A and B are shown apart, each in its own frame.
Chain A
């Protein structure tokens, strides 16, 4: 019976809004409001140059950002090569390249801030 995957218990995937860290998301939305229109279609991931070389998934970056998984995000975003194909194929005209730049900038700052504390 325990060979069925759906029966294996996984760590909880619920988002706890008491501890939800939305600083990064708020920062990105402030400077790149077009991110709000993202519908997670995955077009960006399909074309991504970095995604062909590694398991980098730009669509998942958007999900992590919305879930406030800042630490995981900072490590993941480093794989992006900035070529800009994602912005060009985006059907909602999200300026994804700027989203990546903003994430890099703010997560570096947040990381330094957390270190101080």
Chain B
């Protein structure tokens, strides 16, 4: 029997993998919309291809984002990916030099030591040493991967993903590849002295001349089999992310984005998930004992086509998971797209909406449904408008439709569009130049989904800061330690972190905490989650409150009525909105000027009082 036949599992596995990848890749690219295909072609022609190449190198091989999260975890991924990549590249160079030709059989570099026994060529010793070094590099990653199963803490992880069968098969094969390669090369090295510092030493350690010659071929065959099984299992496992992520990066750099309906880019994003489990620790649902609805499991269910509403809608949509996603998948949008698909059948029409009477005004205040549950915020906002002497119209004072965002969070975009159209007509008809909202949920939708030409959408924090900068609102910092809680829709959702902090700094002592800005906590009250029970919400809220209490704040200030309402149910903390805090600081200012007792209704009166 021809002993060369041992390469068959590798060759067959490789061929099968290539066929599957080509079919999938063709499907993904060909089902792109026309405009996206143009984007892709333009990106391939322009300099952006260099950016993509750099991103692929930094993310797929070096794993820069994982390094940022944890050094050991980053090293493990880098040694496996970059090490294996270098083994392939240097292995090919070695084979080209040895054969003095570029036309070598494609399996030759993989099983080089088996075929090239004792042949001397230019730099053969250097190549052998280099290959041994690289093998050591990869093996260090494999050892780390084994130990990660027993000691996650070293890798900065508290939880890892529960794997499915395909993943387990592929992972076992991957773990076996490099130790088997070491053993096979060592056996051959012991026979023919063609190894270097690792393989030669291991050869004399593990084998004698008898065992080396009998075991060499079976070991090479086992190595080939491990490679072959890894390639066959790859498309049905999480390791599909290796080829997919490269395409995903090219698509993303071309400017292709997730749409409101699932398309091939959505599928690409789903296949790019490596199920690394970094999103798991970020998810606050863990505090409520919910363990199967995190992004990694939802993506897995979508890929396996067994997603159900219970899993899909049990998510706060706080966006914490995607902050650390090493692949950079827009997990929140992806989940909302799935929700849109799941609710397509029942979008409401809101036929009862009719144009209400509008009031002409320079500024519109839209409180939103949530602010109506926290009357103190409304009072404070009205007080502020009076202080600033605004000519304003309180749009939803008595009755008005919702802004539409809660419907969108539940996936019902068509229904939300009806509300948006109705509100837009009202706002435009009033002739206002500014729209002030005191709820970040409304702010996000007004900013992103409303077409309001000539109307400036302002969040109340922005509005208040403007009043302060214009000298229309004078505050004296309170002697209070204040934690500012970033609402999810305002912070990660709309990227507004500093403006509210400026306002707080003008009104008290702001303390900086560990989990803030991008990593800020969710209050647990989110409208994004339709399935969570109140008891579970309370657990999330209390864990956030306990973290805040460790800083011994006197006030917990937030900029969202829903966060305020949620936190206020816990009695251990004084919770207030920015608007309330600012008014308290403004009162403090008046008190310090010894003006207490004088009734001040607007800024001009205040100024005359200060002057007198």
Contact = CB atoms under 8 A, between A and B. Distances in A.
Interface of A: 31, 34, 47, 49-50, 52-54, 78-85, 88-89, 93, 95, 97-98, 101, 104-105, 107-108
Given A34-B533, A104-B343, 18 more contacts: A47-B373, A49-B399, A49-B402, A52-B399, A78-B348, A79-B350, A82-B402, A83-B402, A85-B373, A88-B525, A93-B534, A95-B532, A97-B410, A98-B530, A101-B309, A101-B313, A101-B343, A105-B309
Contacts of B349: 78
A53 B402 CA distance: 11
A40 B530 CA distance: 21
Most buried by B among A34, A53, A79, A107: A53
Most buried by A among B350, B530, B531, B532: B530
A63 B254 CA distance: 53
B309 A53 contact: no
Contact of A88 (B373, B398, B402, B412): B373
Interface string B527-553: 100111111000000000000000000
Contacts of B343: 101, 104-105
A49 B441 CA distance: 16
A53 B400 CA distance: 7
A112 to B, nearest CB: 8
20 contacts: A31-B310, A47-B373, A49-B369, A50-B402, A53-B399, A81-B402, A81-B406, A81-B419, A83-B402, A85-B372, A88-B562, A93-B535, A95-B530, A95-B534, A97-B527, A98-B313, A98-B531, A101-B309, A101-B313, A101-B410
B179 interface: no
B74 interface: no
B406 A84 contact: yes
Interface of B: 309-310, 313, 343, 345-346, 348-350, 352-353, 369-370, 372-373, 398-402, 406-407, 410, 412, 415, 419, 525, 527, 530-535, 562, 565
A54 B352 contact: yes
Contacts of A107: 346
Given A49-B401, A53-B399, A85-B369, A80 B348 contact: yes
Contacts of B346: 104-105, 107-108
Contacts of A83: 369-370, 402, 406, 527
Nearest to B403: A83
A82 B412 contact: yes
A95 B531 CA distance: 8
Interface of A is mostly: helix
Nearest to B369: A83
A116 B34 CA distance: 38
A93 B538 CA distance: 11
A113 B372 CA distance: 40
Contacts of A78: 348-350
B348 A93 contact: no
A97 B409 CA distance: 12
Given A79-B350, A85-B370, A95 B565 contact: no
Given A78-B348, A93-B533, A104-B346, A84 B527 contact: yes
A95 B398 CA distance: 26
B162 to A, nearest CB: 23
Most buried by A among B348, B349, B565: B348
B292 to A, nearest CB: 15
B546 to A, nearest CB: 21
A35 to B, nearest CB: 12
Contact of B530 (A47, A52, A97): A97
Nearest to A48: B369
B401 to A, nearest CB: 6
Given A95-B530, A97-B530, A98-B531, A79 B348 contact: yes
B397 to A, nearest CB: 11
Contacts of A47: 372-373
Contact of A52 (B353, B398, B527, B531): B398
Contacts of A53: 352-353, 399-401
Contacts of A82: 402, 406-407, 410, 412, 415
A88 B348 contact: no
A47 to B, nearest CB: 7
Nearest to A32: B531
Contacts of A93: 533-535
B66 to A, nearest CB: 36
A86 B204 CA distance: 76
Contacts of B348: 78-80
A78 B343 CA distance: 13
A53 B399 CA distance: 6
A78 B370 CA distance: 21
Nearest to B409: A82
Contacts of B530: 95, 97-98, 101
Nearest to A101: B530
A58 to B, nearest CB: 13
A21 B406 CA distance: 31
A72 to B, nearest CB: 16
Nearest to B348: A78
B406 A88 contact: no
Closest 7 CB pairs of A and B: A93-B534, A52-B399, A83-B369, A78-B348, A81-B402, A83-B402, A54-B352
B606 to A, nearest CB: 36
Contacts of A95: 530-534
Contacts of A88: 373, 525, 562, 565
Contacts of B352: 53-54, 79
A37 to B, nearest CB: 11
Most buried by B among A49, A89, A93, A108: A49
